[in-house]
Every structure is written in C-alpha cells, then in structure tokens.
Amino acid sequence: MAERESWEECPSGVLTGMAEELRRRQSRRHLLPAVGGLLLLVAIGGILATRFHSPSGAPELTCSEVIPLLAQYHDDMLSATMMQRVEQHLSDCPNCKDRYSKAFPADARREHPKHHLEVEPNHEAR
C-alpha cells in the first residue's frame, strides 16, 4: 500500500499522447510489409514485361510457336511483323536456329535476302 502513495498522477494528456504514438507505430509496422510487397510485385511485373515482350511491344514467340512457322518463314509467307518476330526468336534461340539450319541447309549456309541469320560452320546438314 505504501507503493501506491508514491505514485504521482500523470499530467493531463500524457497517456493520450502515449496511446497515439503507440497506434502510429503499430500502423507503420503493418504498412511497411504491405508497401514492400507492392514494390516486389511491381519489380516482378517489370521483369516479366521485359522478358515476354519484344522491343516492338509484341509478345516474344516461344519455341512451340516458331517451329510450325519455319517453312512459312523460309518461303517469306509471313507478314513483315511476324517475319521480324520469328527472326528475333531465331537470333535468340540456338535450338530453333539449329532446327532451322537443319531443315533448310542451303538457305542456312548463304544469306537469305530477308533472313540475316548467322549459322555456325559446325551446324552442317547430315
């Protein structure tokens, strides 16, 4: 009981100020992970956007999309935009470039008027 008497009464508004400061800290503690998560999503979105879209804005073609187009590409039967997209894929993908050079060995060894693929000498037709 003697301890109670040694306590002094808090000045007016001190407890209210402490409670407000505690609420601010708690809201910041909840806000920071949310902001961090949002920044992470934006970063991932940016990475995916640059990975799956070519500089022209059209989505990059996948191998499974390019392979059926190789004959049409060889015969210049694709639109100019699609020709560029296939050519871009072939310049980035060694597997599809190799498949193209094996399917069209004569064309792969010389420069096609519209195709500017460089084929390494060790990729000869068998």
How far, CA to CA in Å, does 86 sit from each of 32, 65, 99, 116? 44, 9, 13, 11
Provide the pLDDT for residue 67.
94
Please write the tens of the pLDDT for every residue from 103-122: 988 765 444 445 555 445 44
Mean pLDDT of 76-80: 93
Q: Which residues contact 119 (CB under 8 A, 6 or more apart)?
A: 97, 101, 108, 109
Residue, of 69 and 10, whose pLDDT is higher: 69
Mean pLDDT of 25-44: 87
Task: State the distance between the two ends of the chain, measured CA to CA, in whole angstroms.
Answer: 101
**Angle, helix 80-92 to helix 94-103, in steps of 10 degrees:** 110
Number of Cα atoms under 13 Å in the Cβ half of residue 54: 16
Provide the pLDDT for residue 98.
93
Question: What is the domain partition of the chain in residue ranges?
Answer: 11-52, 56-126
Cα 92 off chain centre by: 16
Going by pLDDT thresholds of 50, 70 and 90, the confidence category of residue 56 is low
How far, CA to CA in Å, does 2 sit from each of 6, 7, 91? 7, 9, 87
pTM of the model: 0.45
**Does pLDDT of 50 surpass 70?**
no
